[in-house]
C-alpha cells in the first residue's frame, strides 16, 4: 500500500485513480476513511487524477496521538500530497462533510494552490445542533439516535462504528435501500480517537466571516434529505462564496454514493461550463482560442 511519510513520523495512506487535472479527495468523519468516497467518484477519473487519502489518525494512516490531529497538521498533510504525490503546483479538491471543513481552510490558506473546489454535504460552521435534532425527529429518529449524536464521543473504534451504523439509515434519503448503508460504510476502518478529535475541532470551527475570500471556482453539492449538513448550510455557502454554484440532489448525506450518475453528470457539466467561461474571458482579454 502507498504511504506518504511526514516529518513528524506520521504516514498518510493514499490511493490514486484516473488521469487529468490533479485532485485531492478528502473524506468526512472524523473517524471514517476514504472508502466513503472510493470508488464512488471513480467515474470522474477521466477528468481528474484522483488522490483519495485517509486523514492522519483515520483509516489506514498512522494512528498517532490526537495532539497531531490539528487543522495545521491536516492542511500540511494535504499540501504535501499535492506536492509529493500529485507533483502539482495546483490541485482541485473534492471534499465531503468534515473533509469540507479541511478543504475550505486549505483554500483559504493556500489559495494560489487550489484550482477548484467541489464541496459535498458540508458547512462553514458546526453550530446548528437544534436544526440537526429537528431533522432527526422529522425523519422519525429514535431516542437512542438522538442520544448517541449528542453524547461525548468515546475514543474507541467499536463505539464509533456503533454510532455511525446506528445513525446509518438517517444519513441516506428516506427511500434508500438498507443495503446502501453497508455499501457506503461497510468497508470503513473506524477510528475512535479521530472521531473524538473531530468533535473537539468542530466545536471551534466557524469560517462564515471568511467565505468571501474563497477565490477558486466552487461547486456546492448537498442532499435534499441531509440531516447532518442540511441545504440551509449549503445555501449559506452559496450566498457567501463568490461565483459558486449550488446543486441539490435527491439524496441524503452522500449524494456521490446514493446517486452517483447524477452527481457525476452535474460535476462534468459544471467543469465544462467553467472552462467555456474561462475561454470566453480569455478571448475578451485578447487571448487566442
Q: Which residue has the higher pLDDT, 284 or 209?
A: 209
In the predicted model, what is the mean pLDDT of the chain? 93
Cell of 124: 462553514
Instruction: Put residue 32 in one of left, alpha, beta given phi > 0 → left and psi -120 to 50 → alpha.
Output: beta
Instruction: Tell me if 153 is assigned to some domain.
Output: yes
Asked whether the predicted pLDDT for residue 289 surpasses 60, the reply is: no
Q: What is the pLDDT of residues 214-261, one digit of tens each?
A: 999 999 999 999 999 999 999 999 999 999 999 999 999 999 999 999
Residue 40's pLDDT is 97
Asked whether the predicted pLDDT for residue 284 surpasses 60, the reply is: no
What 3-state class would DSSP assign to 254? coil
Which range marks the domain in which residue 242 is found? 3-284
In CATH, what number is assigned to the domain containing residue 76? 3.40.50.1820
Cα(120)–Cα(98) distance, integer angstroms: 10
Cell of 71: 487543522
pLDDT band at 149 (very low <50, low <70, confident <90, very high): confident
Asked whether the predicted pLDDT for residue 276 surpasses 90, the reply is: no
Mean pLDDT for the stretch of residues 136-143: 88
Query: Measuring CA to CA, which residue among 126, 168, 161 is closest to residue 145?
Result: 168
Burial class (CB in 10 A: 0-12, 13-18, 19+), 58: buried
Residue 281's pLDDT is 56
What's CA 289's distance to the chain center, in Å?
35
Mean pLDDT for the stretch of residues 66-91: 96
Report phi then psi at 280, rounded to 5: -65, -40
pLDDT band at 286 (very low <50, low <70, confident <90, very high): very low
pTM for the full predicted model: 0.94
Give how many domains the chain has, as a whole number: 1
Instruction: Tell me if 289 is assigned to some domain.
Output: no
Instruction: Tell me if 11 is assigned to some domain.
Output: yes
Instruction: Tell me if 118 is assigned to some domain.
Output: yes
Asked whether the predicted pLDDT for residue 283 surpasses 50, the reply is: no
Contact 31, 108 (CB under 8 A): no
pLDDT band at 100 (very low <50, low <70, confident <90, very high): very high
Cell of 3: 504511504
Asked whether the predicted pLDDT for residue 174 surpasses 50, the reply is: yes
Burial class (CB in 10 A: 0-12, 13-18, 19+), 150: exposed
DSSP-assigned states of every residue in 133-197: HHHHHHTT--HHHHHHHHSPPPS-HHHHHHHHHHSGGGGS-TT--THHHHHHHTT----HHHHHH
Query: Measuring CA to CA, which residue among 12, 126, 153 is closest to residue 73?
Result: 12
Cα(199)–Cα(146) distance, integer angstroms: 16
Instruction: Tell me if 123 is assigned to some domain.
Output: yes
Query: Measuring CA to CA, which residue among 176, 268, 276 is closest to residue 221?
Result: 268
Mean pLDDT for the stretch of residues 53-70: 91
Amino acid at each position: 500500500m502507498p504511504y506518504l511519510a511526514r516529518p513528524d513520523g506520521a504516514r498518510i495512506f493514499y490511493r490514486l485513480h484516473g488521469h487529468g487535472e490533479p485532485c485531492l479527495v478528502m473524506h468526512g468523519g472524523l473517524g471514517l476513511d476514504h472508502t466513503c468516497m472510493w470508488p464512488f467518484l471513480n467515474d470522474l477519473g477521466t477528468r481528474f487524477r484522483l488522490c483519495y487519502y485517509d486523514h492522519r489518525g483515520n483509516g489506514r494512516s498512522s494512528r498517532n496521538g490526537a495532539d497531531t490531529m490539528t487543522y495545521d497538521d491536516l492542511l500540511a498533510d494535504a499540501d504535501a500530497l499535492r506536492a509529493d504525490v500529485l507533483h502539482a503546483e495546483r490541485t482541485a479538491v473534492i471534499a465531503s462533510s468534515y473533509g469540507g471543513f479541511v478543504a475550505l481552510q486549505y483554500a483559504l490558506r493556500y489559495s494560489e494552490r487550489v484550482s477548484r473546489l467541489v464541496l459535498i454535504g458540508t458547512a462553514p460552521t458546526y453550530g446548528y445542533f437544534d436544526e440537526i435534532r429537528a431533522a432527526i425527529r422529522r425523519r422519525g429518529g429514535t431516542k437512542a439516535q438522538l442520544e448517541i449524536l449528542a453524547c461525548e464521543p468515546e475514543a474507541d473504534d467499536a463505539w464509533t462504528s456503533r454510532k455511525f451504523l446506528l445513525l446509518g439509515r438517517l444519513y441516506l434519503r428516506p427511500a434508500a435501500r438498507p443495503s446502501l448503508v453497508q455499501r457506503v460504510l461497510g468497508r470503513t476502518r473506524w477510528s475512535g480517537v479521530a472521531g473524538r478529535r473531530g468533535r473537539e475541532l468542530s466545536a471551534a470551527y466557524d469560517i462564515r466571516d471568511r467565505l468571501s475570500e474563497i477565490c477558486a471556482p466552487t461547486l456546492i453539492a448537498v442532499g435534499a434529505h441531509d440531516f447532518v449538513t442540511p441545504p440551509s448550510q449549503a445555501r449559506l455557502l452559496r450566498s457567501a462564496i463568490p461565483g459558486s454554484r449550488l446543486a441539490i440532489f435527491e439524496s441524503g448525506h452522500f449524494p456521490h454514493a446514493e446517486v452517483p450518475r447524477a452527481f457525476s453528470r452535474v460535476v462534468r457539466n459544471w467543469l465544462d461550463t467553467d472552462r467555456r467561461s474561462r475561454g470566453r474571458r480569455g478571448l475578451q482579454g485578447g487571448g487566442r482560442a
